[in-house]
Amino acid sequence: MSEQEEKLLNLIQQYKAATGIISVVEDYTGVSINQPTRKRPVCDARQIAMYLIKQNTGLTLMQTARLCGLGTHAAAWHACRQVPLYLETDRAYREKYGDLINFN
C-alpha cells in the first residue's frame, strides 16, 4: 500500500470515529447537532461533539466544524476552549454532561 493510500485510509477511519462521536452525543442529548440554530441544548451538544472529535481524532478544526454542520473553524476552536471551562466552573453543566465527556 502506498503512502497516499495509507493517509487516505487513516482519514477515513478518523471520519468514521468522528461520526460515531456525533451519534453518541446526539443519542445522549436527544438533539440533532446539525440544526441551524443557537438554542442552548443544540449549542451545548454541538460544542461537546466538536470538543470530543478534536480530542479523539486527528481532524483539523475546519474538518471538525464541517462535520458538525458549521462553516468555519472558529466555532470548533471556541468549543475546544469553552467545554473544559464549563466543566470546571458550572456544576449544572458538569452534572448534565460530565459522564459524556469523561467517558475514558
93 phi, psi to nearest 5 deg: -65, -45
Grid coordinates of 16: 468514521
Average pLDDT value for residue range 26-48: 94
Which amino acid is residue 91, in one-letter code? R
Q: How many residues does the chain have?
A: 104
Grid coordinates of 68: 458538525
Average pLDDT value for residue range 33-62: 94
The fourth-level CATH superfamily of domain 3-101 is DnaA protein, C-terminal DNA-binding domain (1.10.1750.10)
The residue ranking higher by pLDDT, 43 or 104, is 43
**Residue 22 pLDDT > 70:** yes
pTM: 0.90
Which amino acid is residue 78, in one-letter code? H
Q: What is the pLDDT of residue 103?
A: 62
**Residue 92 pLDDT > 90:** yes
